[in-house]
């Protein structure tokens, strides 16, 4: 299926279980894959036939920089639901939220949660 991808969106938020995460905050990186038929917008060259990824960016930003969640899994679910509510053309989405520097002792690149959701019929 065709898709629009927004990769490496960076925001600052206060999500996490640890008090220092809620107080100090940290960077979050969000990747979104939006699955929809791109034949019509590819032929018409009309934004009304597609999904405005500038608007997607602003929606994700509002969610990540908004009310704190304990889990990035919950944050990903909210982002997906916002997208389905706003964009009727969206058939499915994959949302990945990465914490590059969570307060966990050890050596690793990052931690992330990724969900794939399809529109309910």
The verdict on whether 3 is a catalytic residue reads: no
| Whole-number Å distance between alpha carbons of 94 and 115 | 6
Contact criterion met (CB below 8 Å) for 69 and 60:
no
Question: Taking the alpha carbons of 15, 18, 24, 27 in that order, is the dihedral positive or negative?
Answer: negative
List the catalytic residue out of 23, 40, 69, 99: 99
* HSE, side-chain direction, 13 A CA sphere, residue 44: 10
Residue in the structure block whose two tokens are 């996490």: 16
Among all residues, which ones are annotated catalytic? 99
């Amino acid at each position: 299926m065709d898709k629009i991808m927004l990769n490496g969106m960076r925001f600052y938020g206060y999500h996490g279980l640890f008090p220092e995460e809620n107080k100090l905050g940290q960077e979050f990186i969000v990747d979104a894959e939006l699955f929809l038929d791109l034949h019509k917008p590819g032929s018409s060259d009309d934004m009304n036939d597609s999904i405005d990824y500038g608007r997607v960016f602003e929606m994700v930003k509002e969610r990540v920089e908004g009310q704190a969640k304990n889990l990035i899994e919950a944050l990903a679910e909210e982002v997906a639901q916002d997208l389905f509510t706003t964009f009727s053309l969206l058939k499915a989405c994959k949302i990945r939220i990465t914490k590059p520097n969570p307060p966990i002792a050890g050596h690793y690149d990052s931690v992330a949660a990724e969900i794939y959701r399809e529109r309910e019929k």
